[in-house]
Chain A
Amino acid sequence: MSSFFSRIKSGAPPLSPATGSIPVKKDPHAPEATPLEKLLVNAGPLRSDGSDKFFGFENVSAAAYCNSIVQCLYYSVPFREQVINFPARSPPEALERPASSPLKLNTNLPNDQHAALSPTGRTSLSSPNGKAPAKPVTTPGATNPPGTKAEDNKDSPEYKKKQALAAGPVLQMDYENANAYGMNESLFSSLKDIFEAVIAHRSRIGVVSPHKLLEILRRDNEMFRTPMHQDAHEFLNLLLNEVVENVEQFSKTRLTDADPKEMNGTTITSGEMVPVQNSAASTKSNAGWVHGLFEGTLTSETRCLTCENTSHRDEAFLDLSVDLEQHSSVTSCLRKFSEEEMLCERNKFHCDNCGGLQEAEKRMKIKRLPKILALHLKRFKYTEDLQRLQKLFHRVVYPFYLRLFNTTDDAEDPDRLYELYAVVVHIGGGPYHGHYVSIIKTQDRGWLLFDDEMVEPVDKAYVRNFFGGEGVLACAYVLFYQETTEEAMMQEQEADALAAAEQAAKMTQEAVTTPKPNGANGHAFHAFHNATTPTIEEADKFASLDHAATAPPLAHTESNTDHAVEHTTTNVPVLAARKSNMGLFAKVKEDREHKAQQKELEKAARQKRKEMETQRRENYRKQEEELRLALEASKASAAEEHQRRLASGETATPPLPPPVGAGGGDHKLANGFGSVKGMSGLSRFRHTSMSLRAKPKFWSKDKDDGGSEDQSPAATTTTAGTGDEVPDAKNRFSIGRKKSTFKF
């Protein structure tokens, strides 16, 4: 750990000038600095947490679904931290780095030489597939005169992607460090490899080629093997489940058999395994981190209409899949998700209480809110008459902040505030083809658009371009909301304000400085503003020197504009003020009197209001008092009852509304389990993607040996349930728990 940091520290000073400032290009043919480069001009020293790395992902064999999701995960701060730190932060020396020597050269070379080098770099790519998707992407002839390729248009994404690849550095992720982590090769280890490589690299921008990740993905999962267009949400779910599994498996082996044989395997690669060994116990406790981040709990309450008995069943989810309606909001989709539904006819519910299939009412509510809420908008819907999936272009609006209405009454922190931090966008007319990009809010660089190799800063308002609607091809498909607080929200708004003020200052300056003859000074200033303002949202958090110079946030605007004023020749306000000064003295007195009068009135009003307020509060207090008394009374009576019941030898049945928890809990659980049997056949999994515990066999392959899971009842039943569905899983989209439309 310490060695790593010291390395960074010692390494940073000489490196940062090279990477931090983009070399000024004199060559007219050299590409202009990209918006991202401009954004990063004043980016200070490299950070060790990877929050200042903005790497694109190469589109290897049409794996945009993978790129967009991995980017979203990378920029989830807690997720990234956990990936890096699990099982323990690896010492950098122990890890293999992407083909380092030429790339190191690359970063330090001026740009035109990049271009010279890059072809060699790119030939090493698995190009046959990698090129394929990029080719047919001719943007319509409307903008490009016929004959010119899309790549020639400098504003086209294709051109930008090409440039990004050419500029490099390209991290060829075709190796693995799984052994160094002490793990088996897995999706997790390859994901960790990518994160580690990006963070350790000295450049802030570049391109990752996630070969290994895709290789493992395709090796283990048949459905991702075809070069066809894949579902980003399916990939997210698979990835999270795999990560959970890998992590848990790892810590299990760590805990149970810390036998030397296993250790030997790992110590071969590095002698640094000591920290891991020591922390075996702690890793175990830490192993649930994916659950801790993405997992929430749903409670399905099923009320049998015959016996009025309500049974509860909890299930874990890693993301929520919500049905869409035309002209709705995410809030409403979530509410609909939890609306009551009737289980009747073929869908009847097996009630344990009355023993048999009964009509019932069922609703799903969120009992435990996840830290990161991944919302999957079910845009791909099976249509009966077409016999295939179709994309829904419904306009579904999503706010920047969210709270959940569909929580259970006993949920902890039911008013938890979420903020939108990433949007995965699907572009295309149908589910079988198209492209994925993601738009992500980064820690201190505002919103960025990640389109494969290309990374570009975008305005906050841009995020709202993907609500969907008829004829809108690009629509949000997966939304990532993360837990936040009101304070953080306020802070961010203030930071926004700061940025806006800066921009405003720039604008006034522009307006004011234009008539100024020399302007050299102003221009320098200008450039700085141009380069940094557009999307910096939390500029104050960023410890850049340039920002420090213009320090106090509120004074900032004024100082800037004042500065501008000093330079203007037309000083209208001052002049006018002087003129009006003549009559001023006479009026001052009048003014004062008036003010005094006003104050008097205000005071009176305030007094009145105060009284009312006091009264109101008094009332509250009274109420409170009453309630407290009542509560005490209730406690007393409860205690009494308890006594009585003890006396009667606990033979009496529990009082009417059967309480959940304590003694009633077991009963409930059993009940719930019973109901599950009935349920599972109904494939009621459409709502959520299950976490590992409830993972269907289809994916888990033979690794599914989680016999020691604490919630085995649920697990077994769900697997049973999906087992039924496997037969009709010929179509790759028919992972039954999600695409319920297949069933009905």
Chain B
Amino acid sequence: MFVLPPPPRYPVGGYPGAQPGQLIETNNSITHPAGPEYQLVVGEGTYVLRDDLHLATPPPHPSEAPTHNPNPLATTLSPPTCGTKLSLVALAPRQPSQSQLHRFGTRTSTRSPLPPSIQESPHETNSQASDVGSHGANGIASSPLDGLRTPVFGEGNAALAAVNGKDTKDALKRRKPKSNIVKSNSSFVSRVIPHETLTKRLQDHNPNGLYAFANVNRAFQWLDLTSPTKEEHLTKILFTKAHALCHDINQITKGPNHLDIIMGFSTGDMIWYEPMSQKYARINKNGVINATAVCDIRWLPNSENLFLAAHMDGSLIVYDKEKEDAVFVPEEAVSAMEDGISEGEKKVQSLLTIKKSVNSKNQKMNPVSYWQVSRSKVSAFEFSPDRRHLAVVSEDGSFRIIDFLNEKLRHHFMSYYGGMMCVCWSPDGRYIVTGGQDDLVSIWSLEDSMLVARCQGHNSWVTAVQFDPWRCDERNYRIGSVGEDCRLLLWDFSVGMLHRPRAASVRQRGSIASSNLKMQRTQTGSSVNRLRSNSNLTSGSTLDEEEVVHPVEPRARTAMLPPVLAKSVHESPLCWLGFEEDCILTSCKNGHIRTWDRPKEGSSNDDSSTHASNL
């Protein structure tokens, strides 16, 4: 036996893997790795890595002492961070992506009594499909349920309308924020580094090309993804301390000379930023309305001024970019108390507490409305393509569908276990996919208000999930998901295959003689139905909308879907995923953005065979 001297219990930084903190400002770099390991082979063809753009991580701000605490047990909590996320925008109104859909001619919906297919929405998923022009033409405004014009958020509120009306007077000239960010002496902004030839590059920009806005650490970069020198940022903003965790571009107001960007920070602050004129304005300054970090942020669909921010403490707050902040005091929810409410409704109300309604008469100041959905972090949310619903997922594992126009909770589901981390609507608004800490991608149906399938394949938490609108039609859907396992997974599911009972391999007990399949299915089926009827009993015997809170579906009852592709695409955990017409974009926690070219036209296989083989 050898005896080693007692070693230090807290060995210091010298561990080989530990990276010393970077101290100088560096430039972005681009590489073009090639080879079979940089290809994604799917049924429709091969996606090839175009390039790998590495965003330089900025050094810590001089005023911030390097926060390296040698004690691995230090109980001081580091501020929330997230990896690199992107907001993409093309200035030109684009062709509706529907024209690229495969087999779009089949208009026969087998199972749904609903009007077939709502068209591609420009407002789904990270504002990437960005065709303003297609609104009227495609009739998005028609809602699947009542075929009426989509009401605008807060429409009935005169107090809100008055302010809005004033704003829309000079519709041609977009209002810009007040302060210049380059000349700012705010302690919030550390430095702004515009490119030397910014104006020239802006002029050269192809209007169909993509601008990207990306956060990395305390930096926020504006990139031109179609430029030959795309690794050179157009503008880089360095913030002093706060990290931008989320950002969104307003697709309504975008134009050759105007982009409205909203950013949410780890400190709870928000910034409305207009990159062309380098102007900005601060909202929720120093967290006066809500001091917790902003986890997700999006412009309200069809709104020039309003945006929704999800805070770390589980509140969803609508702000107006034009309004000043005021200390927030919850208002009495009078309207809700008027009618006598049952216990059940109370419970539902506790799942969505309206602390300030959009219908409040007090609309001089921010916030416009203030909802408390959960007490733990809201991880992500997204508006439905029909602009009526809001899907919200949170760290406590809940998944809510909120009718945000009426400020009502429609459904409340739970993850299989663990927190939920991402959510996305299908382009037609009929399905919602979520991903979370159960390593699953879950597919939910809005019209059936139930879980339709669980997708198993990730080896770790699922951090982002997206529909690929270019590969969705009204019967088949392509979903992409990325996770902490550094992998990208693609899934195909079609309406026909859903609701099929799991091909259960229940070992037979006793002496059931006949070995035919039917018998086996009988067994599983009966247990399925027993369970199902049970849940019906508990969660609402009346078929009313009161059935809002849904129990967790047992594993034996849900369909499991395997991926059509699973591939490790980065070295570090992934945190964002985007589908574009010509490529898939992925980004990771270390600031790498990879662009994967879609298969070339000629090489694409007949993809119905893909579907057939996968389903």
Contacts and interface: CB of A to CB of B under 8 A. Distances in A.
Interface of A: 62, 132-133, 136-140, 142-143, 156-157, 226-228, 325, 327-329, 331-332, 393, 395, 397, 399-403, 405, 408-410, 414-415, 417-418, 425, 427-429, 432-435, 437, 449, 451, 456, 458-459, 461-462, 470-474, 486, 493-494, 496-497, 500-501, 504, 507-508, 511-512, 554, 557-558, 561, 565, 570, 572-573, 576-577, 580-581, 583-584, 587, 590-591, 594-595, 598, 601-602, 604-606, 608-610, 612-614, 616-617, 620, 623-624, 627-628, 630-631, 634, 637-638, 641-642, 645, 654-657, 659-662, 732
A414 B555 contact: yes
Interface centre among A228, A591, A614, A634 (most CB of B within 10 A): A634
B509 A415 contact: no
Given A409-B506, A616-B448, A638-B511, 16 more contacts: A140-B10, A140-B12, A395-B573, A399-B419, A435-B9, A449-B75, A461-B77, A462-B75, A471-B17, A473-B15, A576-B361, A594-B156, A624-B526, A627-B525, A660-B509, A661-B509
A71 to B, nearest CB: 15
A19 B151 CA distance: 62
Contacts of B364: 576
Contacts of B207: none
Contacts, number: 293
Contacts of B416: 403
B540 to A, nearest CB: 10
B330 A572 contact: no
Interface centre among B72, B158, B326, B486 (most CB of A within 10 A): B72
A414 B536 contact: no
Given A329-B439, A584-B361, A641-B511, A136 B555 contact: no
Contacts of B486: 327
A403 B15 CA distance: 35
Interface of B: 1, 3-4, 6-13, 15, 17-19, 68-73, 75, 77, 113, 145-146, 148, 156, 158-159, 288, 291, 313-314, 326-327, 329-331, 350, 361-362, 364-365, 374-376, 396-397, 406, 414, 416-419, 437-439, 447-449, 456, 458-461, 484-486, 504-515, 518-519, 521-523, 525-526, 529, 532-533, 536, 543-545, 551-552, 554-556, 572-573
The 5 closest A-B pairs by CB, nearest first: A497-B375, A471-B18, A399-B418, A470-B17, A474-B72
Contacts of A429: 11, 15
B375 A610 contact: no
B73 A573 contact: no
B512 A634 contact: yes
29 contacts: A137-B8, A137-B10, A156-B71, A157-B71, A332-B439, A332-B458, A403-B416, A409-B505, A415-B556, A418-B417, A435-B10, A437-B73, A456-B75, A493-B374, A493-B375, A500-B313, A508-B329, A572-B365, A581-B361, A583-B158, A602-B406, A614-B543, A623-B525, A624-B525, A624-B533, A627-B529, A630-B519, A634-B522, A641-B514
Nearest to A632: B522
B522 A332 contact: no
Nearest to B419: A399
Given A511-B327, A576-B364, A655-B511, A328 B555 contact: no
B362 A226 contact: no
Contacts of A613: 449, 543
B461 A397 contact: yes
Nearest to A403: B417
B417 A573 contact: no
A590 B460 CA distance: 53
A606 B543 CA distance: 10
Given A393-B17, A631-B522, A327 B573 contact: yes
B291 A507 contact: yes
A642 B439 CA distance: 45
B362 A136 contact: no
A474 B15 contact: no
Contact of A627 (B10, B459, B526, B544): B526
B4 A433 contact: yes
A142 B68 contact: yes
A357 B324 CA distance: 79
B73 A474 contact: yes
A52 to B, nearest CB: 22
Contacts of A458: 75
B543 to A, nearest CB: 5
B519 to A, nearest CB: 5
A566 to B, nearest CB: 11
Given A142-B70, A462-B75, A427 B544 contact: no
A228 B72 contact: no
A662 B510 contact: yes
B417 A417 contact: yes
A638 B513 contact: yes
Contacts of B512: 634, 638, 659
A428 B6 contact: no
Contact of A139 (B10, B68, B456, B529): B10
Nearest to A572: B326
Contacts of A228: 3-4
Contacts of B536: 617
A119 to B, nearest CB: 24
A433 B509 contact: no
A1 B193 CA distance: 75
Contacts of A142: 12-13, 68, 70
Q: Which of A328, A414, A554 has the most CB of B within 10 A?
A: A328
A399 B551 CA distance: 20
Nearest to A462: B75
A133 B9 contact: yes
Contacts of A434: 7, 9
A595 B10 contact: no
A472 B314 CA distance: 30
A340 to B, nearest CB: 13
A563 B291 CA distance: 20
B8 A410 contact: no
- Kindly name the residue among B1, B13, B417 whose own CB sees the greatest number of chain A CB atoms within 10 A: B417
Given A226-B1, A402-B418, A609-B545, A332 B459 contact: yes
B397 A401 contact: yes
A472 B75 CA distance: 15
Contacts of B375: 493-494, 496-497, 500-501
Given A157-B71, A449-B75, A630 B518 contact: yes
Nearest to B414: A486
B483 to A, nearest CB: 9
A30 B241 CA distance: 36
Contacts of A327: 459-460, 484-486, 572-573
A289 B403 CA distance: 50
Contact of A329 (B8, B288, B460, B545): B460
Given A474-B73, A623-B525, A656-B515, A331 B113 contact: no
B119 to A, nearest CB: 21
A393 B374 CA distance: 34
B362 A587 contact: no
Given A228-B4, A634-B522, A136 B9 contact: yes
A6 B6 CA distance: 48
A662 B3 contact: no
Nearest to B486: A327
- Find the residue from B13, B437, B518 having the highest chain A CB count within 10 A: B437
B159 A580 contact: yes
Nearest to A425: B73
Nearest to B68: A142
A732 B365 CA distance: 69
Contacts of A656: 515
A393 B7 CA distance: 19
A655 B507 CA distance: 14
Nearest to B516: A634
Contacts of A433: 4, 6-7, 9
A655 B509 contact: no
B437 A409 contact: no
A398 B573 CA distance: 15
